[in-house]
Amino acid sequence: MQIGDVYIFAGSGIGTGGAVSENRGLLEHISPALMGYLLSFLPQHDPLAESVPGGLLTSELVERLRGDNFCGYALARFSGEERGWLAFYRGRLLEAWRQTTYGHLCGTVAYRALQRELGQGTLSLYRLQPDDLPALVALTQGLSRITAMAANSVVVSDLVDSLVQEQFTGALVLEDGLVGRAWFFARGKRLFGGELPTEFREGHLHLVQAPSKAPPDLLEQARQEDQEQRAIRLSVVWNAAQEVLKEYMGRGAPSALERLRSIHTTDDPASLEKALRRWMSESLEPNAATLFDRLLRPTL
């Protein structure tokens, strides 16, 4: 069984292969419940914290993990056996995943969801070696090499020999209904112990290869998204203010808008809205502020 060329990201975050942009690991192939089940069996021999209140997952904690070059993962547990997961590689947040009833959340969407919801759950942090992380990230960002192959059709010894020969880095997953088992590899060597059985009698196999490059830092992505959303909202606020000024000041609107822009230089849309609303009520009339709100929120 030929697996193919394998590249993994190095400590610098730069791999030897080309970029992998659309790889989604097992997200298209297994249920969120099974993914959560697999993640709950990751190694837990080097805990930094266990079962602490999930509300401790703050921006400050993540920044501290970044500063400490933390390698490992955070496992979140919610009621109903739902799981969440964060993977850190030398302080960079490479993945966030959140189990839901209807599907997988991943990336910055999952990270924001975990920040919002962890107050109702618990959080555990476990250290891993840097070489362990690419194989784990393969679960959600890897290249799918084998999908839903009948497990009893695979000669295990041949598969293992091929993985060793190719110096494979990634994960082999056995799916058996709502439960399963995962074996992780780095350069053809098994991680975390756990021998493969001599044969598979039932279930389906999935094989996912680690990304060729270290994925982007989700924290940097989240910050960029926040900046973009702030810029969009600020533009909406100023456009609404411009329309109000046109309505109430006519030809004097452009110069009035320029003066307001020079006075109110905040990049916080909420603060800007409040300040402009107050100015309109005091300097124009209360109805101007009402029009301002209607322009900002057309459904009101």
Domain end call among 166, 191, 209: 209
Judge if 36 and 176 occupy the same domain: yes
Judge if 186 and 235 occupy the same domain: no
pLDDT tens track for 69-108: 999 999 999 987 889 999 999 999 999 999 988 889 999 9
Judge if 194 and 229 occupy the same domain: no
Judge if 68 and 179 occupy the same domain: yes
In a domain? residue 159? yes
Predicted pLDDT of residue 98: 95
Domain end call among 148, 182, 209: 209
pLDDT tens track for 182-234: 999 999 999 986 789 999 989 999 999 999 888 889 999 999 999 999 999 99
Judge if 51 and 188 occupy the same domain: yes
As for how many domains the chain has, the answer is 2
Per the prediction, the chain carries an average pLDDT of 88
In a domain? residue 3? no
Judge if 37 and 93 occupy the same domain: yes
Judge if 202 and 147 occupy the same domain: yes
3-state SS of 165-207 is HCCCCEEEEEEECCEEEEEEEECCEECCCCCCCCCCCCCEEEE
Judge if 45 and 182 occupy the same domain: yes
- Is residue 10 scored above 70 in pLDDT? no
Judge if 192 and 238 occupy the same domain: no
Judge if 49 and 176 occupy the same domain: yes
> Domain limits at 121?
32-209
Looking at the DSSP bridge assignments, the partners of residue 7 are none
Task: Assign 209 to helix, strand or coil.
Answer: strand
Collect contacts of 162-166 with beta carbons under 8 A, ≥24 apart: 162/1, 162/2, 162/3, 163/3, 163/188, 164/188, 164/189, 166/2, 166/3, 166/4, 166/5, 166/6
In a domain? residue 248? yes
